[in-house]
Amino acid sequence: MAGSRAEQILGELMAEATADQQVNLPTLLCQACVRALPLDGAGLWVMTEPGMQSLVAVTDGTAKVLEDLQFTMGEGPCIDAFTSGRPVAQPELATTAPTRWPGFGPAAVEAGAAAIFAFPLQLGTIRFGVLDLYRSQPGTLSGAETLEALAFTDAATILLLYLQQQAPDGELHPNLEAGWTGRPEVHQASGMVSVQAEVSLPQALLLLRGRAFALNLPITQVARDVVDRRLRFDSADQEFVVTATS
Amino acid sequence: MIRYERLAQVFVELADTLVTDFDAVDFLHNLTDSSVEVMSVQGAGLMLADQRGALHVAASTGEVDLLELYEVEHQEGPCIECFTSGQPVVNIDPVLSLQRWPGFTGLALAAGFGSVHALPLRLRDEVIGAINLYCTEARTLEPVEVSIAQALADIATIGLLQERIIRDKTMLTEQLQGALNTRILIEQARGIVAERTGLPMAMTFQAIRDHARKHGQTLPRTATAVIDGTVDMTGWGTA
């Protein structure tokens, strides 16, 4: 798995990291990937199952919007790559996305993505994350570019495991916590909504997603409204009545 | 005596098992069977050391099972000596063999074996076990035969160390996913506590941690109990 190119990538990252102690290695990896390939953005997820996922690193701009969209909609290349264990390539997003991802697709195109690629991070049959790559121009990755993307995927795999190795058992490495910022409220809100609407936690997350989709808001904002008790999801007569209390 | 026509094929077969779904037990049994075939010997046994350095029989062709167990139990025999020294123990004179390993040699002779050879499973300084080759006649292995036997032992070593690396990494992915799940679990539990007790979200973590400490439970376990609805939260809101 640790091809020489992946090791070279990691070597460069480490060299860059020693020059600046404050840097976050997964973020550096995403940035290096965007520099090395004809791409405009990259995002790195750790996942255990769709929904149980944490954005570890993302490059600025459109990529941030796209990762937010995927998390809000609960669909997209990252979830597909994780579920199937295979890379996902959508080089002509404008034509293919609306049918493949009815929620995420049009929104992603509107946000400025023209091509999307996702590579699962896996070890044998175990999958534990995804590397998402975006481009504002349509078009496939060439053979050499795909190999380079796979090398970055390998490097990301090694890096995440390396970081986890440094962390105390049962805890996430600080570098892996970085992307967590802004996400806890989604899971807190899931907990609150599960009590309010008397539904399971996965169903509560779906309710939050549905609400965000309907209002065209990021899920984090809807979650924030729930946590701050400005929004409730109460069950009545088998129907979920959403009441905004302020 | 060596079946060269099978040799290349056996190496390819063994290498192949290294890349597909690797099963250590299967792999070692294939290896002992292949060793018997390629070396034209009549039995083979493979021993591996555990974390404390104690040897265990990992694979053997049926007929030599008892001999291998005898070696392990009595700490006597060529395999033990080979593992301890990290050097091949081959072509031992029968008289010397009786002096060095009286019990083992007696049993081997009784079982119809005239000579036993042992090669270490070694990568650089690390010896992880040894393989025994049993011959019905008092056979002297040529230097080239010793090299080939050692090559088979080396394949076993590489395969096992590879498996260990993969297993270590697998454990890491489990830890990583476990840590992530724990984080999510705790946040979900905080939401449930906030809703049930009316506590501000900022105070829910402390409430869960207090409960965990009071009951001598880990934080993840308490969070799971909160989610399952088995935690009595009476008084939490006013605490």
pLDDT digits (tens, 9 = 90+) for B129-146: 999 999 999 999 999 999
Task: Determine whether the interchain pair B188/A193 forms a contact, defined as Cβ–Cβ distance below 8 Å.
Answer: no
Residues 99-138 of A with CB under 8 A from B: 123-124, 126, 128
In the predicted model, residues of chain B with pLDDT beneath 70 are: 1, 17-22, 238-239
Of A48, A169, A201, the CB nearest to B177: A48
Give alpha helix (H) positions in B4-77. Answer: 4-19, 24-39, 65-74
Residues 101-120 of B with CB under 8 A from A: none
pLDDT at residue number B182: 84
Question: Which of A44, A187, A205, A222 should we substitute to test contact with B (largest number of B Cβ atoms within 10 Å)?
Answer: A187
CB < 8 Å to A123, chain B: 166, 169-170, 173
pLDDT at residue number A175: 79
A160 touches chain B (CB under 8 A): yes
Task: Determine whether the interchain pair B179/A167 forms a contact, defined as Cβ–Cβ distance below 8 Å.
Answer: yes
pLDDT at residue number A236: 54
pLDDT at residue number B26: 80
pLDDT at residue number B21: 62
> Global pTM?
0.64
- DSSP-derived pairing of the beta strands A239-244 and A231-236: antiparallel
Coil, strand or helix at A112: coil
CB < 8 Å to A172, chain B: 176, 179-180, 183
Residues recorded for chain B: 239
C-alpha separations of B214 from A113, A228, B73, B226 in Å: 51, 29, 49, 15
ipTM: 0.71
What DSSP assignment string belongs to A192-241?
HHHHHTT--HHHHHHHHHHHHHHHT--HHHHHHHHHTTSEEEEEETTEEE
pLDDT at residue number A179: 59
Task: Determine whether the interchain pair B191/A176 forms a contact, defined as Cβ–Cβ distance below 8 Å.
Answer: no
Residue B161 CA neighbour count, 13 Å, CB half:
14
In Å, how far is A92's CA from the nearest CA of chain B? 33
The whole-number mean pLDDT for each consecutive block of 10 residues of chain A, a chain of 246 residues, reads: 74 80 85 96 88 84 90 90 91 91 92 95 84 95 93 92 82 72 81 94 90 87 94 66 46
Task: Determine whether the interchain pair A188/B195 forms a contact, defined as Cβ–Cβ distance below 8 Å.
Answer: no
pLDDT at residue number A239: 47
With CA atoms as reference, the chain A residue closest to B185 would be A187
CB < 8 Å to B192, chain A: 191-192, 194-195
Residues A144 and B223: their CA atoms lie apart, in Å, by 47
Model confidence pLDDT, tens digit, residues B149-177? 999 999 888 888 877 777 777 778 888 88
Task: Determine whether the interchain pair B179/A227 forms a contact, defined as Cβ–Cβ distance below 8 Å.
Answer: no
Q: Which amino acid is at B122?
A: R
pLDDT at residue number A245: 44
